[in-house]
Amino acid sequence: MKKIYILGLIIALIMVFCSGCILPDGEPLTTERITELVYKRYGEGRAKIRQVDKKTWQISPTDYPDIKYTIKQKIGHGGVIPVPAYTYTEDRMKQVGRIVVPKFFSSKERKKLQFSDGIIKISYNAKSDADVETMCTKLEAMCEYMNNNYGAVVRDEYVMMYFDEMPIRVSTDRKYKKTVMRDNLSRTKITSYLDSKYGSGTYTFRKVPSDEVSHEGEVEVTLNEYPDMPFYLAANTNASKRGKLTDTLYSDMLANLVFNFPKDDYDSSSYLEISAQDNLDGELYNGVRLKRYLKWGDESGVISNMQAIRKALRVYLNQYPMINYSDYPKNQHKVKPPICMEISVQF
């Protein structure tokens, strides 16, 4: 059995390493294929197609004389085994964005403007509710303009807007921590840590039993004031504090609160997502992601309603001191759990 496993692994590795030596899957792009794609979008004869070089075509839609964009052939990979395959990219949304976005957003507001294949992304550092309201109004107006004036060009593509707040750092987040097992800690060490931090008689703790797989064997702690919000002891891995006891109060409390936020009271759509985020886009965040997708024209009032949900979420989070103070329960150093609101509009 072991020999069969090794043989299979060798064959798989050979296929992976040789994949770069074989011809790409599928057919290379041709003017005929490009014409088929373009006419499907704009209608028969409703665009001029010019081949620039062997792998590039310039498209000029007849009904949109201010738009010219390119389609380029490239070699991509896909599947379980990354076999090369012919695919293509186009800068259609980039060309639309260069014309339309400056009509609605100032140079400062589009400082973090990005274009990718089929997507316009705008990130904005939200400093107040008024900021968010202003930017949402502009987003809605821009999408309306795009749909009315470039409908066929932007069809099926996306505008995505991110309202960012500054990340925070607290001692009870998940950075520089590793799991500790109850069997490796004496009761005295546990109570000494919890008494000094949260006060004697303010908590209970237990060893998580084997039928609770996600935290089996760990030390679960609950504060008397919040009996339905457990968190866990951990060992610090930071060089200056290596091995010292700490816990995950902030991260676990925030996750619990976000999970129980009554989002259906504001929007019952399955497209609304609210989640606690230790990290966001690869960076430490310690906050909440509020995300909503909408198909333009299928719903109304979604963008303005997201402002209301964001405000309600902030009011809800503000009720709980353990996520609004970095030194809870002393409550001397106030923090503000950041909320990243993301709105994705598809035309």
Q: What is the H or E stretch that residue 292 is in?
A: strand 283-295
Q: What is the pLDDT of residues 268-304, one digit of tens each?
A: 999 999 999 999 988 889 999 999 999 999 999 999 9
> Are 211 and 218 within 8 A, CB to CB?
no
41 and 80 part of one domain: yes
- Specify the pairing of strand 283-295 against strand 339-346: parallel
The pair phi, psi for residue 16, each rounded to 5°, is -65, -50
Q: CA-based angle 186:187:188, to the nearest 5? A: 90
Task: Based on the fold, state whether residues 237 and 303 are members of the same structural domain.
Answer: no
**Pick from 297, 289, 300: nearest CA to 267:** 300
Q: Looking at the structure, do residues 334 and 271 belong to the same domain, yes or no?
A: yes
Residues 71 and 113 occupy one common structural domain: no
Q: Are residues 14 and 151 in the same domain?
A: no
Burial class (CB in 10 A: 0-12, 13-18, 19+), 214: exposed
Does residue 259 share a domain with residue 336? yes
269 and 339 share a domain? yes
From 64, 89, 114, the end of a domain falls on 89
Range of the domain at 125: 95-169+255-346
Query: Is the domain of 32 the same as that of 156?
Result: no
Please report which confidence band the pLDDT of residue 222 belongs to, taking 50, 70 and 90 as the band edges.
very high
> Which residue, 200, 220, 247, sits at the end of a domain?
247
Q: Are strands 219-223 and 226-236 parallel, antiparallel or unpaired?
A: antiparallel
Residues 101, 165, single domain; the answer is yes
Angle between helices 92-104 and 129-149 (to 10 degrees): 130
Assess whether 135 and 30 both reside in one domain.
no
Domain termination site, one of 230, 247, 264:
247
Mark whether 161 and 200 lie in a shared domain: no
Average the pLDDT over each of 90-99, 161-170, 267-276 and give the range with the smallest value: 161-170
Note whether 219 and 185 are same-domain residues. yes
pLDDT digits (tens, 9 = 90+) for 29-88: 899 999 999 999 999 999 999 999 999 999 999 999 999 999 999 876 655 566 677 789
- Mean pLDDT of the region 95-109: 96
Q: Is the dihedral of CA 319, 322, 324, 328 positive or negative?
A: positive
Question: Strand runs (DSSP E) across 202-261, as ranges?
Answer: 203-207, 219-223, 226-236, 245-247
**Is the pLDDT at 140 greater than 90, yes or no?**
yes
Q: Measure the CA–CA gap between 77 and 90, rounded to whole angstroms.
A: 17
pTM of the model: 0.85
Per DSSP, the residues of 188-207 read HHHHHHHHHHH-TTSEEEEE
Average pLDDT for the chain: 90
Helix (H) or strand (E) holding 40: helix 31-42
Using the predicted structure, report yes or no on whether residue 19 has a pLDDT greater than 50: no
